[in-house]
Amino acid sequence: MRLSERENGLARHVADAESVLRDTRLGGPTVPVLVRALRALSAAGEPERAVPWCTALRDESVRRGIAGWAAVFGTVHAELLLRQGDVRNAEQAAVKAMGCLPEGSGDAFALAPVAALVLARTGLGRHTAAGRLLDRPVPPELLDSARGLAYLRARGRHSLATGRFHAALGDFTEAGRVARTRSADRPSVLPWRSDAALALVRIGEPVRAEQLARQQLAGPEGHLPWVRGLALRAWAASVEPRRRTGLLEQAAEALGRSGDRLELARALADLAASLREQGVSGRAGALTRRAWGLAQSCGAEALCEEIAPGLAGRSRPAAPTPGDGHGPGLLTPGARARSLLSTSEQRVAALAAHGYTNREIAGRLFVTISTVEQHLTRVYRKLDISRRQELPVDLRMS
């Protein structure tokens, strides 16, 4: 399938989902229909377009006093924020969703908001709090169901983050088994192969890890930026250093288009480490600062600490040091860029440097996507760079 055909297909999915959201009144029978439309927008790579619809539906549910609906849409809201990497606000949304759960609601109904909250707290580095949520036993029959998929992935991600790699692998492969059994094997919703590949790398099985990552790329949704970026990053972790950098470049490019700033931060941090191993310290330093800024903007303090130990909690990345290739008296990359770019170009470049997609930049600045692309072309030429990953992270909007 040609790229334009894929793009047209995604555009149709987005238009169909928004048509459902626009034309469907909220009611008992329509709640599942509206939820499917919200998740369809997210799966099509447009979670930011789903958020306003979701918050409106949640607020209407609250006004009407229907706690169950509020819990459902609150959970989806948390999932949409997680898909954008915004773990700080996702945690708040998931807590609110759990607070809306009707008294006496069954374990199955509660699995989804618990999963969202575990993922959010794991992303925040609040591992003890996430672990407490997982302490309550879950009946096996619930895990062997469609409702259990998100829970299995969340538990696996928590295990992966806390060094229990075999447990993580078990949850990811079980999620994959259940998804295949129920004809729900969609990596745009459940990227279990990429997750499992990361666990396999950590237990010393890189060949199996590479196989799973390649399978995800070759699958029916392997062209989607989020799915592609996750798979490429997992693949990169499984190969020798000389092959790693190119894969991580591709992963960062795809994740930059996906809208997931936290996963982009992880890919950029990996890329910086790979370049540093090769002695490319200048670019590695710039990428490290950009990864740190993205992680900090998402609220992922634990990742900030991994990227630059000792800096977590600061309001912005540290200023460049001589070891980054910027000696005393020289302009920082951001200051140099401001001296070369017009005000409009600075605004576009600053947003692009912090992980916003061209569509998101156009929406924020009230311009067309074409205008954004033209500005970026001029920015690249003036700064003598070739991709958005090289934009200085300390560039601020005028």
Global pTM reads: 0.79
- Interatomic CA distance for residues 360 and 261, integer angstroms: 12
Q: What percent of the chain has pLDDT over 90?
A: 57
Q: Which residues 6+ apart lie within 8 Å of 292 measured at CB?
A: 265, 304, 307, 308, 311, 317, 393
Same domain, 310 and 344: no
Residue 304 domain flag: yes
Residue 50 domain flag: yes
Q: Which pLDDT value is given to residue 167?
A: 97
Residue 216 domain flag: no
Q: Which residues 6+ apart lie within 8 Å of 17 measured at CB?
A: 37, 38, 40, 41, 44, 50
- Interatomic CA distance for residues 383 and 121, integer angstroms: 38
Same domain, 30 and 119: yes
- Top pLDDT among 304 and 321 is at 304
Most confident of 89-98, 305-314, 388-397: 89-98
CATH number of the domain that residue 377 is part of = 1.10.10.10
What is the count of structural domains for the chain?
3
- Interatomic CA distance for residues 199 and 181, integer angstroms: 22
Q: Which pLDDT value is given to residue 323?
A: 38
Same domain, 11 and 101: yes
Same domain, 272 and 310: yes
Residue 185 domain flag: no
Label residue 29 by pLDDT band (50, 70, 90): very high
Residue 305 domain flag: yes
Mean of all residue pLDDT scores within the chain: 87
Same domain, 127 and 54: yes
Same domain, 108 and 22: yes
Same domain, 39 and 82: yes
Q: Which ranges of 100-147 does DSSP label H, i.e. alpha helix?
A: 107-124, 127-134, 140-143
Best CA proximity match to 150, nearest among 126, 186, 124, 181 = 186
Same domain, 278 and 392: no
CATH number of the domain that residue 79 is part of = 1.25.40.10
- Residue 82 reports pLDDT greater than 80: yes
Q: Which pLDDT value is given to residue 394?
A: 61
Q: Give the domain range for residue 345.
A: 332-398
Same domain, 269 and 345: no
- Residue 386 reports pLDDT greater than 90: no
- Interatomic CA distance for residues 68 and 52, integer angstroms: 19
Same domain, 16 and 105: yes
Same domain, 287 and 373: no
CB atoms within 10 A of CB 24: 15
Residue 354 domain flag: yes
Q: Which two tokens stand for residue 385?
A: 């760079």
- Interatomic CA distance for residues 397 and 342, integer angstroms: 11
- Interatomic CA distance for residues 41 and 94, integer angstroms: 19
Same domain, 12 and 123: yes
Residue where one domain finishes, among candidates 315, 348, 383: 315
For the stretch 158-215, pLDDT in tens is: 999 999 999 999 999 999 999 999 999 999 999 999 999 999 999 999 999 999 999 9
Residue 215 domain flag: no
